[in-house]
Structures are given as structure tokens and as C-alpha cells.
Chains A and B, each alone.
Chain A
Amino acid sequence: DQQVKQNSPSLSVQEGRISILNCDYTNSMFDYFLWYKKYPAEGPTFLISISSIKDKNEDGRFTVFLNKSAKHLSLHIVPSQPGDSAVYFCAASALNYGGSQGNLIFGKGTKLSVKP
């Protein structure tokens, strides 16, 4: 059973507009969430993270929102650029529970295409 779900396998956005990537989770013990960006045949690169004590974290064009009651997080990219075209993975861990619970669980990814 998937603990981290990215229900949209793909998303297409016009350059300059907002991209919103969504992620849902089922494990209420998750307390740390991350987004990674991945180009084909390369390793994922870390984008932004958020702890469960916050509901928003911003870094430049990237903002992550966390809704704990809905077990939902989203990544907003504003404005979107063609270079943002990649696969985005959401990940979660139960960090404060220690041991193997601290390992990241990844969603299946959403492929973002930003059209010029």
C-alpha cells in the first residue's frame, strides 16, 4: 500500500504561470517532507523541505505548503520556466520516531512540462 501518493503522473503548464504539484500521504507519523527534482538519467536533486511544525516553507520560486489535517502537501513554482521541466518526487519520513522510520518514502513522481 502506497504511503506517499502523487496522483498526477504528468502536468503541463505555460511558461510564466504557476505550477502546482500535489502529494498525499497516509501515515500520520510522517513529520518531515521533501521535494526532489529529477532529470532523465540523472540523480534526483533536493529542492525544498518542510517539517510538520510548519505549514509553509519558501525558497525563491519554490514554496511548499503542508496541510496536516488533510495529509496533503503541495509544491508551487512561480513563475514556471522551461528549465523546470523534469520529474518531481515527493518524499516523507517519520524522522522523530528514529530507526528505519526515518528513511524516506517516495511517491511515484509527477512529470512537469513547462511550455515556452
Chain B
Amino acid sequence: DGGITQSPKYLFRKEGQNVTLSCEQNLNHDAMYWYRQDPGQGLRLIYYSQIVNDFQKGDIAEGYSVSREKKESFPLTVTSAQKNPTAFYLCASSIVGTSGNTIYFGEGSWLTVV
């Protein structure tokens, strides 16, 4: 089945620790994205990548890092510099082009800092 797989679904982190969220897609999409959802805040873009070995900061990139070594994979690291990391994290992907930028989401990962 084609889709976007995020892992883990639930993750607990102690303050001061880095944690990496995995995102893999087998849709052969060029672009991948990381969003964060907080209650009442909608979806905010953290980082995005349109091609392998290239990525750009979104609206709230501070305290996060990413890599795009393979087309299928776009892991997100939440560093200890992120002041309020507890949130629902969503990975997404899309075809790069002008026919319509519909993005497709994974199931999400809950990160809780304890």
C-alpha cells in the first residue's frame, strides 16, 4: 500500500534531550513537509524539502532540524533548544508541480516532554 508512515506514534522525552521522529513515504513524491499542530493553532510549517539533499525552513523552524538524504525519508529532530516541544507532529508529502499542490499527510506523532 502506498502512503506515509510516521513513527513512533507516541513519544515521551525528558527535558534537555533530543528526539528524532521518523517519516517514510513510498508515493514517489518529490516534496516532503513537517507540520506541527497545537490546540487552536491549526497547522504550522516547520521544514520542507522539495528535492533530495535540500530543505528549507518553514514558519517555526527554531529548535528543529531535518535531513533529506533519500527521497523516501525526511526525519525531524526536535532538539533541546525547542522551548515548547509538546505537540502533535505531522509529516506530509506532495508532487512538485503546477497542477495542484495537494499534500498528503501521515498519521502523526504525539510528542510529550516530561
Q: Footprint of B on A, CB under 8 Å?
A: 9, 32, 34, 36, 41-46, 49, 51, 89, 93, 95-96, 98, 100, 102-104, 106-109
Contact = CB atoms under 8 A, between A and B. Distances in A.
Interface in B1-25: 4, 6
A33 to B, nearest CB: 10
Contact of B107 (A43, A98, A102, A106): A43
A89 B105 CA distance: 13
B56 interface: yes
Contacts of B110: 41
- Chain A's interface: helix, strand, loop or mixed, by majority? mixed
Given A43-B90, A43-B107, A49-B100, A108 B58 contact: no
A45 B105 CA distance: 7
Contacts of A103: 33, 45, 48, 58, 101
Contacts of A44: 43, 90, 105
Contacts of B45: 103-104
A93 B94 CA distance: 13
Given A103-B48, A106-B42, A43 B106 contact: yes
Nearest to B92: A43
Interface in B50-66: 56, 58
Given A44-B90, A103-B58, A89 B104 contact: no
B44 to A, nearest CB: 8
Interface string B89-106: 010100000101111111
A74 B24 CA distance: 33
B41 interface: yes
A95 B101 contact: yes
